[in-house]
Structures are given as C-alpha cells and as structure tokens.
Amino acid sequence: MRALWARALWANVEEVFREAAARFTLVAYFALSTVFILLFAAAVNLDVVDGALAGAKLFGKEIEMRGGKVEIDKLVLGFEMGFSAVLYLVGTFLAIFATAHLVPRLQEKGTIDLYLSRPIGRVPLLLSRYAGGLLLAAFNVAYLMVSIWLIVGIKTGVWNERFLFGGGIILFAIATLLAFAFLVGVVTSSTAVSIMTSYGLFFMASILTAHEKIAAAMSMDWGASLVHAGYWVLPKTAQLGQAIVVLVSGGTGMHRPPPPVDPWAVYGTTGLFGLLALTWACWLFSRKDF
C-alpha cells in the first residue's frame, strides 16, 4: 500500500516539474538566476597578490583600498555576506513567483476532478504539490548559491563553505512563504493574489522588526498590542536575512560584528507560522467541495 502511495505522490511531484518546464517557468526561473550569476561573474575583478588584495573593481569601478592592501579572506567574507543577503531576496521572490500557481491551477474546474478521482488523499495530494514546489525552489537556490560560491572561489582561491549553508536558511524562508501562498491559493484559487499577499507578508513582517518603535509611536494601547502581536505571529523575514549574514560571516563582520540572532524568536516563530499556514491549507483543502 505504501508503494502505491509513493508512486502516486512521486507522479504528482514529477508533474509539477513537467508543468514548470512546459510553461517556461523553469526556463525563466533558471535563466533569471543565470543572468544574475553572469552579471556577478563579469562585475567582480580582483587583483590578488600574495594572498592579499592589491586592487579590486566592482561593475568596472575601482574599489578604494584603505592603507594599501586588504586581506583577501576578509574581502571575500564581505562579498559573500552582501551577496547572501541579495540572494535571500532574489531567491525567495523568484521561488514564490515560480510556484504560487501550483494550487490555483490544481483547483481549476476540469483539472481538480482528474486529480481527486485518483486514490490519493487530499492532504497527501496538496503536500506532494508543496514538496514539488519546494524541490523546484531548492534546485534553484542550490544553483544560485553554488555558482556564486564557485565564481568567488575560482577568482580568489578562498572557499568559504558557510556561504553554502546560507542556502538552507533561504529555503526555510521559501518554505514558510510558500506555505502561506498555498493557504491563500486554497482559499482564493488565484495565482495573482497568492503572489501579492506573499510578497506583502514578506514586507509587512520586515517592517514589524521595528515593532518596539512603531508601538511606542502609537497613541492607542490596542494598536500597540496589535503591532507586537503581529511581530510575534508573522515570520521574521528581516531577521532571517540577518541570520544568513551571521551564518556566512561566521559571527564576525568586516568592520563590526553583526547583532546576534535569537534562534527561537527567528526560526521558531517563523517555522510555526509556516507549519500553521500549511496545516490550515490542508484542512481547508480536505473539506472543500469542488
């Protein structure tokens, strides 16, 4: 019985990839990532002498070397910290854009009948779509991270493995936002609404990082409470970006150490939000009349 289910679910994951390939989502997804990688490769020109940086150009512009030479390890660390934060934004936004349609398309009239008439439970069906979407995003994040890491490594001879681990946090953020996109997709059956609300959630949650300041500026107590509650309930998108930088840097920045990250406040609440969103999506999907 388990083998039958595994076949059915794997066929569904495969279908997600075939759909992405056929609708040029996959091509566009990887093409955009490749453009980003090529731009990066072309933009960075480093002149390394005896393990130290004698000269550097970024997008053709000379970088000022304070006191002559800069240790190449530190420069690479700085590069990778900055690019991990950029990749966090690019990777997350591309992933949501490429996968938010999975539920609305599934729920289309004439399509949902074909899927639900197979001997797969509704929850496994939705979760296999989620797994397919996440796998697609994981391939892209891996492609972006490994390519940048290779380019930096080849150009400088410095290989910072922590940069690669940053991909795990990006994927964690994608998993959380994709769960939310699935929830919106189940309720509205609209790809556009799924994408817009997921991006909105990302920015809203980032703004709420300053919840203390926002709440202090509010005249009404209930408003302040709402802001605090929003901060604790919503995923910590800004802090996740910060966590990636901390992870890549190994806890030390070039000029000043980044602030520490509270694991529960960042990963715990974000993970819980994603889990609840996905559970809610599954519950609604399992009760829906088509």
Partner 1 sequence: MASALSVHALEKVFRNGFSRREIRALSGIDFEVAPGEVFGLLGPNGAGKTTTVKILLGLTFPTKGEARILGLSARSPESRRRTGYLPEGHRFPGYLTARQTLSIFGRMAGLSRGEVEQRIPALLSRVRLPEWADVKVKKFSKGMTQRLGLAAALIHKPEVLLLDEPTDGVDPVGRREIRDLLREEAARGTAILLNSHLLSEIELTCDRVTVLRKGSVAATGTIKDLTGASALGVSSQVRYRMVAYGMTPSLVGGIQQLDASIAQTNGHFELSVRDYAHLNQVIDRLRAEGAELRELTPLRSSLEDVFVDLVKTGDLDSPEVKPS
- Alpha-carbon dihedral of residues 225, 226, 231, 237, nearest 10 degrees? -160
Return the range that interacts with partner 1 (CB under 8 A); candidates 73-81, 105-113, 150-158, 166-174: 105-113
224's enclosing H/E stretch is: helix 221-233
Report helix, strand or coil for 185.
helix
Task: Enter the DSSP assignment of 257.
Answer: P
Residue 118 is a binding residue for partner 1 (CB under 8 A): yes
Residue 117 is a binding residue for partner 1 (CB under 8 A): yes
Here the tokens at position 24 are 């040029």
CA atoms within 13 A on the CB side of 36: 23
Residue 121 is a binding residue for partner 1 (CB under 8 A): yes
Residue 68 is a binding residue for partner 1 (CB under 8 A): no
Site string for partner 1, 249-288 (x = CB under 8 A): --------------------------------------x-
Report helix, strand or coil for 120.
coil
Binding residue (CB under 8 A) for partner 1 from 37, 69, 114, 141? 114
Return the range that interacts with partner 1 (CB under 8 A); candidates 11-19, 43-51, 207-215, 229-237: 11-19
Residue 289 is a binding residue for partner 1 (CB under 8 A): yes
Binding residue (CB under 8 A) for partner 1 from 108, 192, 259, 268? 108
Report helix, strand or coil for 286.
helix
Residues in the chain: 290
Specify the residue, 232 or 290, whose C-beta has the smaller distance to partner 1: 290
Residue type at position 169 = I
Binding residue (CB under 8 A) for partner 1 from 32, 54, 112, 254? 112
First-to-last alpha carbon distance for the chain, in angstroms, is: 27
Residue type at position 186 = V
Binding residue (CB under 8 A) for partner 1 from 75, 81, 103, 120? 120
Residue 116 is a binding residue for partner 1 (CB under 8 A): yes
Residue 113 is a binding residue for partner 1 (CB under 8 A): yes
Which residues are bridge partners to 71 per DSSP? Answer: 52
Residue type at position 53 = L
Task: Enumerate binding residues for partner 1 (CB under 8 A).
Answer: 4-5, 7-8, 10-12, 14-15, 18-19, 21-23, 108-121, 287, 289-290
